């Protein structure tokens, strides 16, 4: 019995060591060089650190609004972000034809509940469209 447990434990360790590691978000965005990556990483860091300032919900709301504006202003660059599964804050997924991209993030405004917001980007004949979707009841939605 002990040999079986040891064999299973060893197999699990081997599988865990051979599994490809997922790069952290900051490492991921550093591969871009158009200024978007640096601004995105700074915005993520500011939102993440602001959540620890107890009761500073206005600051978090403002930082999230700035994050939305950043995504909108770099809407063409969003399509170059690789798809992600979990980078502890931001999630990116694109359609197979790369004409639709969804960027979701934890706003850090939910306390013990996670509150997500999303931006949906789509390519159209005259540029890139965007829609902001918030996981809240305050009616904050924006089409551009």
* pLDDT tens-digit series, residues 54-111: 666 778 889 999 999 999 999 988 888 888 765 567 888 999 999 999 998 888 887 7
Contact between 67 and 47 (Cβ < 8 Å): yes
Report field, pTM of the whole predicted structure over 0.85:
no
Q: Read off the pLDDT of residues 21-52 as tens digits, 9 standing for 90 and up.
A: 444 444 444 455 568 878 888 888 888 888 77
Average pLDDT of every residue of the chain: 74
Tell me how far apart the alpha carbons of residues 124 and 113 are, in angstroms, rounded to a whole number: 35
| Chain center to CA of 55 | 24
Q: Answer yes or no: is pLDDT of 4 > 70.
A: no
Q: Is 23 helix (H, G, I), strand (E, B) or coil?
A: coil
Quick one: tokens of 23?
């790069």
Quick one: tokens of 81?
């972000």
Q: Cα torsion for 66, 138, 56, 30, to the nearest 10°?
A: -30
What does DSSP assign to residue 80? G
Quick one: tokens of 112?
């013990």
What does DSSP assign to residue 51? T
Quick one: tokens of 52?
């620890």
């Amino acid at each position: 019995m002990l040999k079986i447990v040891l064999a299973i434990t060893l197999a699990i360790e081997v599988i865990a060591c051979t599994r490809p590691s997922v790069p952290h978000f900051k490492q991921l965005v550093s591969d871009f060089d158009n200024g978007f990556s640096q601004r995105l990483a700074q915005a993520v860091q500011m939102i993440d650190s602001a959540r620890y300032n107890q009761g500073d919900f206005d600051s978090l709301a403002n930082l999230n609004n700035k994050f939305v504006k950043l995504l909108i202003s770099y809407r063409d660059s969003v399509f170059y972000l690789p798809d992600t599964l979990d980078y502890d804050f931001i999630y990116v997924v694109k359609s197979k034809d790369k004409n639709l991209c969804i960027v979701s993030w934890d706003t850090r405004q939910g306390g013990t509940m996670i509150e997500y917001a999303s931006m949906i980007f789509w390519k159209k004949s005259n540029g890139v469209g965007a829609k902001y979707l918030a996981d809240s009841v305050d009616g904050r939605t924006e089409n551009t």
